[in-house]
């Protein structure tokens, strides 16, 4: 492995401020923005990447192309990490936690950034019991055209909240400042569960409809999708209520359509996954609604149908 210049110049006892796991579009987007801030001590974990690359070609939101060096650490160096930002697919989270847990010191911040819900199984949760676990939800758009090339396609907003552990205000404000300095804006959310459900609802609509119809996000604004959007959201609202989260159809639909409008020219992650013949996150998006429906004995025919149609695309 090529040893990072930053590591060569660093005091060996100095902790690694931020390690990003996952070199997909969102992982590399955060890495590039953190890297550009001179005070941010940020690295990528080399364990999770497609193949060896020298750097990243980053086309920023202003359509200016920059070359960002790829600074990496190996998995054993996680013993010095203070913050670990995990940006992988929902179905990959458990494996990542299992791989990295032997190298984590006590009480570090594990930040999960993924679509969908229900990523952690009981074993993963037990492995993380000694750490602060946070969720980062973002609506920034990013397109990865190759292993070393990404484009920031749309400005969004991020929410950061604590799922497990304890956080002093000083530490919370320091972490929030770090994210906001890298890629504004990020807001601290005391009840991150509500934000998770809002993001889930957006994904339950935009991802499968765009993937099944092979369209960009903005195309779901067409009147022909009105009924299915309403029916998806009604099932989401019913199951959210069972989980103690109250959502209204009017405001939820307005949020979904606003995101579709703002990301009109973007291709959803599920559409990209299917086009690349990669496993999609349907099991943790619409599948999460299906799973809760079975748990509460509530039928979810619309989400069931979307899951079946996505699965059929892999057979066609």
Q: Give the other-Cβ count within 10 Å of 246's Cβ.
A: 9
DSSP state letters, the chain: -PPPHHHHHS-TTSPEEEEEE--SHHHHHHHHHHHHSTT--EEEETTS-SS--SEEEEE-TTS-EEEEE--EE-GGGGGGEEEEEE-S-GGGHHHHHHHHGGGPPSS-EEEE--SSS----HHHHHHTTTSEEEEEEE--EEEEEETTEEEEEE---EEEEEEES---HHHHHHHHHHHHHHSS-EEE-S-HHHHHHHHHHHHHHHHHHHHHHT--GGGGGSGGGHHHHHHHHHHHHHHHHHTT----HHHHHHHHHHHHHHTTT---HHHHHHHTT---SGGGTHHHHHHHHHHHT---HHHHHHHHHHHHHTT-
Question: Which has the closest alpha carbon to 210: 282, 113, 156?
Answer: 282
2: exposed, middle or buried (C-beta count within 10 Å: 0-12, 13-18, 19+)? exposed
Who contacts 268 (Cβ-Cβ below 8 Å, separation ≥6)?
206, 207, 210, 211, 217
Clarify whether 76 is annotated catalytic: no
Looking at 49, 144, 151, 199, which residue is catalytic?
199
CB 116 within 8 A of CB 196: no
Positions marked active-site? 199
């Amino acid at each position: 492995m090529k040893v990072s210049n930053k590591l060569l110049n660093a005091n060996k006892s100095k902790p690694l401020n931020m390690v990003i796991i996952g070199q997909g579009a969102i992982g590399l987007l955060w890495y590039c923005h953190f890297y550009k801030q001179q005070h941010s001590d940020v690295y990528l974990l080399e364990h999770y990447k497609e193949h060896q690359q020298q750097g990243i070609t980053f086309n920023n939101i202003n359509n200016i192309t920059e070359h960002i060096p790829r600074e990496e650490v190996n998995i054993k160096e996680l013993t010095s990490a203070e913050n670990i930002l995990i940006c992988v697919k929902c179905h990959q989270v458990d494996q990542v936690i299992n791989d990295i847990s032997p190298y984590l010191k006590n009480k570090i911040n594990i930040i999960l950034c993924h679509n969908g819900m229900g990523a952690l199984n009981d074993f993963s949760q037990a492995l993380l019991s000694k750490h602060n676990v946070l969720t980062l939800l973002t609506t920034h758009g990013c397109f990865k055209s190759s292993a070393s090339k990404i484009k920031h396609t749309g400005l969004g907003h991020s929410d950061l909240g604590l799922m497990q552990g304890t956080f002093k205000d000083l530490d919370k404000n320091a972490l929030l400042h770090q994210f906001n300095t890298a890629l504004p804006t990020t807001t601290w959310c005391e009840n991150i569960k509500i934000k998770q459900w809002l993001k889930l609802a957006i994904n339950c609509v935009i991802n499968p409809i765009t993937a099944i119809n092979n369209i960009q996000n903005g195309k779901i604004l067409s009147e022909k999708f009105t009924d299915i959007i309403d029916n998806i959201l009604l099932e989401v609202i019913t199951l959210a209520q069972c989980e103690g989260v109250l959502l209204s159809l009017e405001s939820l639909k307005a949020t979904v359509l606003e995101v579709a409008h703002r990301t009109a020219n973007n291709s959803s992650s599920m559409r990209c996954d299917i086009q690349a013949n990669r496993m999609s996150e349907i099991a943790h998006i619409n599948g999460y609604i299906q799973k809760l429906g079975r748990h509460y004995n509530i039928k979810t025919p619309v989400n069931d149908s979307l899951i079946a149609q996505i699965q059929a695309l892999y057979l066609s």
